[in-house]
Structure 1
Amino acid sequence: MNASQLRYVVRFRGQVQGVGFRANALSQSIGLRVRGFVRNRGDGSVELDVVGSEPDLRELLKRIEESMKGNIDDREIETLPAEERADEFRIRYS
């Protein structure tokens, strides 16, 4: 694994379930070198758990926030050391 890789775990809150948020996140990841998943949480939030370079991770968050700005009330970001992931970004169904 590349040492410059990071892991972001992001929790989005607001009107983020039932509005195509996960599909949008998947679409926004196109062209970026990121791996991980996005999933709905039982508390009504959406969790993004993704590994990539810091510029790609920041770009993904920017794209998601711009495209879903009317739905996001709050977000929390946890930055962690990268871990091995499949070579894809996908929707995880609970």
Structure 2
Amino acid sequence: MSNEARDFLNRWYAFVEKQDPALLDALVAEDAMISSPAFYTPKQSKPYVTAILNAVIQGFEDFIYTKEWVDGNEIILEFETRIGDKKLKGIDRITV
């Protein structure tokens, strides 16, 4: 794992734990892009990405990362969470 990826992950986990929008803002690139099954096409803009990620993290309950894969600057984080009585499992794919 690159030092850049390790540093990013440390800061990412701090954001997830504290749910502090300022921590997220420092992590997201100006040209960030987010893809989701909820969107028809990827959305690209830092304000959009940070708004979505802040809303999602606040809506999740019992959020936990269960697995981590890193290849250079490519990161995949598997998570489990719930919203109300619905359990969810998914991944975050991040390019540093």
TM-score with structure 2 setting the length: 0.26
Task: Compare CA radii of gyration and give the structure with the larger one.
Answer: 2
Which structure: greater helix fraction? 2
TM-score with structure 1 setting the length: 0.27
